[in-house]
């Protein structure tokens, strides 16, 4: 497994297992993913889409003298009120924002059966830049309190918004987790900024939003030349381009294929050929 070290000095596996939408299968799938070799897990304190306690139970079942908490990279999210099912908000929605964030983090630590998070992500910017900054300051205090090792932001598709946060933040974002798709030109400008600022860019919707890429003649021909699947070619291209992809596969065979991407490397000319498929 290749590892990426963030600007905050946190080691993160080169591909992460995502736990959204798994409901009652979460615990089992997390156990399977760890057994297959995943060491990085993405979740969220957002019961609408994630069973965070199921993630914690799955991980607890995997720990042993040879696989300790320190061997895992655990990342979760604070979801603002607007992102929740109103009937299942895991904190008091009427409390001040800083208290919502502290409470959500406490719930995550309890759910994940741990005393620290490797990364806590703000699930989306808030309504105004001032509100986002207020949320960020509350997240920073959790780093100060050693509950969280590093911070991230998600669903931020406006470069200016990310730049403003980076300028104003005392603790800079270490991670940006975004949808990877053609509608945003694959976040090209944002990814260049992330590279410059040493922010790790994580992709989701990588396969599901890109059937036209997976079916493209160039990708198909690389898949046959490297004897890999189109999904493996796209994931490997991303990891060789500074991106940490998320995969939420339910299939053991796909889990193995996703981890096996580190068993081969695209030649630089082939990596650039994929760049061109994505319109670079
Ligand atoms: N920050 C956010 O707002 C946000 C939003 C969405 C997702 N996420 C995170 O990203 C994770 C991944 O979600 P996603 O939306 O990218 O999609 P995903 O849940 O990973 O779904 C990928 C789809 O592609 C299929 N697939 C085919 N070949 C595959 C292969 N080799 N490897 C993996 N999948 C393959 C999967 O089917 P099989 O199951 O049959 O393999 C599945 O239907 C989530 O679990 C969550 O942690 C975050």
Instruction: Tell me if 198 is assigned to some domain.
Output: yes
pLDDT for res 68: 98
Distance 260 CA to ligand 1 centre (A): 17
Residue 261 corresponds to which tokens in the numbers above?
Answer: 């991407």
Tens digit of each residue's pLDDT, the chain (280 residues): 799 999 999 999 999 999 999 999 999 999 999 999 999 999 999 999 999 999 999 999 999 999 999 999 999 999 999 999 999 999 999 999 999 999 999 999 999 999 999 999 999 999 999 999 999 999 999 999 999 999 999 999 999 999 999 999 999 999 999 999 999 999 999 999 999 999 999 999 999 999 999 999 999 999 999 999 999 999 999 999 999 999 999 999 999 999 999 999 999 999 999 999 999 7
Nearest CA to ligand 1 atom 1: 154
Nearest CA to ligand 1 atom 33: 249
pLDDT for res 35: 98
pLDDT for res 1: 73
pLDDT for res 280: 79
The total number of structural domains in the chain stands at 1
Beta bridge partners of 40: 73
> To test the ligand 1 pocket, which listed residue (122, 175, 207) has its Cβ within 8 A of the most ligand atoms?
207
Instruction: Tell me if 223 is assigned to some domain.
Output: no
Buried b (16+ CB within 10 A) or exposed e, 19-30: bbebeeebbebb
pLDDT for res 191: 98
Distance 185 CA to ligand 1 centre (A): 20
Q: Are 199 and 163 in contact (CB under 8 A)?
A: no
Residue 103 makes CB contacts below 8 A (sequence gap 6+) with 90, 91, 92, 95
Instruction: Tell me if 260 is assigned to some domain.
Output: no
Distance 49 CA to ligand 1 centre (A): 13
Distance 122 CA to ligand 1 centre (A): 20
Nearest CA to ligand 1 atom 18: 248
List % helix, strand, coil for the chain (3-state, nearest 5): 50, 15, 35
Distance 17 CA to ligand 1 centre (A): 9
Instruction: Tell me if 213 is assigned to some domain.
Output: no
CATH value at residue 90: 3.20.20.100
Cut 0.75: pTM above it: yes
Nearest CA to ligand 1 atom 45: 18
Nearest CA to ligand 1 atom 25: 249
Instruction: Tell me if 216 is assigned to some domain.
Output: no
**What lines the ligand 1 site, CB under 6 Å?**
18-20, 42, 154-155, 177, 204-208, 231, 246-251, 254, 257-258
Q: Provide the domain limits for residue 137.
A: 3-206
Distance 151 CA to ligand 1 centre (A): 22
Instruction: Tell me if 236 is assigned to some domain.
Output: no
Instruction: Tell me if 232 is assigned to some domain.
Output: no
φ, ψ for residue 230, nearest 5 deg: -55, -35
Instruction: Tell me if 234 is assigned to some domain.
Output: no
> To test the ligand 1 pocket, which listed residue (245, 249, 251, 259) has its Cβ within 8 A of the most ligand atoms?
249
> To test the ligand 1 pocket, which listed residue (223, 246, 253) has its Cβ within 8 A of the most ligand atoms?
246
Element (H, E) at 3: strand 3-5
Q: Annotate 87-105 with DSSP letters as a single string.
A: GG-SS-TTS-HHHHHHHHH
Distance 246 CA to ligand 1 centre (A): 7
């Amino acid at each position: 497994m290749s590892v990426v070290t963030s600007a905050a000095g946190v080691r993160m596996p080169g591909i992460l297992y995502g736990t959204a939408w798994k409901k009652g299968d979460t615990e089992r799938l997390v156990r399977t993913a760890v057994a297959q070799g995943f060491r990085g897990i993405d979740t969220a304190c957002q019961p609408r889409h994630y069973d965070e306690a199921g993630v914690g139970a799955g991980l607890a079942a995997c720990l042993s003298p040879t696989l300790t908490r320190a061997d895992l990279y655990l990342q979760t999210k604070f979801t603002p009120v607007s992102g929740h099912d109103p009937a299942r908000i895991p904190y008091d929605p009427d409390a001040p924002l800083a208290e919502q964030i502290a409470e959500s983090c406490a719930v995550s630590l309890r759910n994940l059966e741990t005393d620290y998070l490797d990364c806590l992500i703000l699930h989306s910017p808030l309504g105004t830049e001032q509100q986002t900054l207020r949320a960020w300051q509350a997240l920073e205090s959790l780093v100060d309190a050693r509950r969280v090792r590093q911070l991230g932001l998600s669903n931020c598709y406006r470069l200016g918004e990310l730049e403003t946060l980076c300028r104003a933040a005392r603790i800079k974002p270490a991670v940006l987790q975004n949808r990877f798709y053609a509608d945003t030109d694959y976040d090209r400008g944002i990814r260049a900024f992330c590279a410059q600022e040493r922010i790790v860019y994580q992709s989701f919707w990588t396969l599901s939003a890109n059937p036209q890429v997976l079916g493209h003649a160039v990708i198909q021909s690389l898949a046959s030349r490297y004897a890999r699947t189109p999904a493996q070619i796209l994931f490997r291209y991303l990891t060789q381009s500074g991106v940490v992809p998320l995969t939420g596969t339910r299939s053991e065979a796909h889990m193995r294929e996703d981890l096996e991407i580190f068993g081969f490397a695209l030649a630089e000319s082939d990596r650039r050929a994929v760049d061109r498929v994505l319109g670079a």
